[in-house]
Amino acid sequence: MDSEAARAAALQAAASAVPRGASQANLITYAEGLIPWLTAPVTVTLDITISIDGSPVFHSSNGGEMATTLTLGVDNQVAILAQPKDASGAVTGDAITFSTDDTPGNILTATISADGRTWTGAVKPGVTGMVTVTANDATISGVPPATTTVTVVAGPTTHIDLTETVT
């Protein structure tokens, strides 16, 4: 619904709801309050926050491509929060889908939050590698996806195993 159609529909609804004899200002104020109900905000971007072990480390207000590194023995998990936002920066109700190139979970054990907006990858002991996670708006087309590359690297040396051979 375009803005003129929304305004006309809001004025028509206000005319039937506002008592006869109300001022034009009251009618217009009432109609303006109805416009958000008649027009759903359109998502234009994905706001992405990447956290490691609960601490935010990166943020992008317009999706795009991001990268982060997890260190075995130091970091336990990465969380990617994707919030769809309209042009004014308000969070919309759009659904988010996540996809990854590590679908069998060989590198990270993935879970998705109950509200569907946070993808969490837990490290597997001793497993290194790279995982690409993509967040998409599942409700409306045209919103650029957000892609995060998570690299899991070996941790610091904690001990050295020696084998002696006596001849």
pLDDT digits (tens, 9 = 90+) for 96-147: 999 999 999 999 999 999 999 999 999 999 999 999 999 999 988 889 999 9
Under 8 Å between Cβ of 43 and 94: yes
Residues 68-91 pLDDT 10s: 999 999 999 999 999 999 888 889
Pairing of strands 118-123, 129-137: unpaired
The structure tokens 């993935």 sit at 110
Q: Which CATH architecture has domain 43-153?
A: Sandwich (2.60)
**All CATH 2.60.40.1080 domain ranges in the chain, comma separated:** 43-153
Q: Which of 53, 55, 150 is nearest to 98 (CA)?
A: 150
In degrees and rounded to multiples of 5, residue 21 shows phi and psi of: 90, -5
CB 70 within 8 A of CB 150: yes
Q: 0.85 cut: is pTM over it?
A: no
**What residue has token string 């990617």?**
80
**d(Cα 132, Cα 66) in Å, to the nearest integer?**
10
Average pLDDT score, the chain: 88
Percent of the chain with pLDDT over 90: 56
Tokens in use for 81? 């929060």
Q: Could you give the CA distance from residue 96 to residue 114 in angstroms, rounded to a whole number?
A: 12
Beta strand 108-112 with 64-71: parallel, antiparallel or unpaired?
unpaired
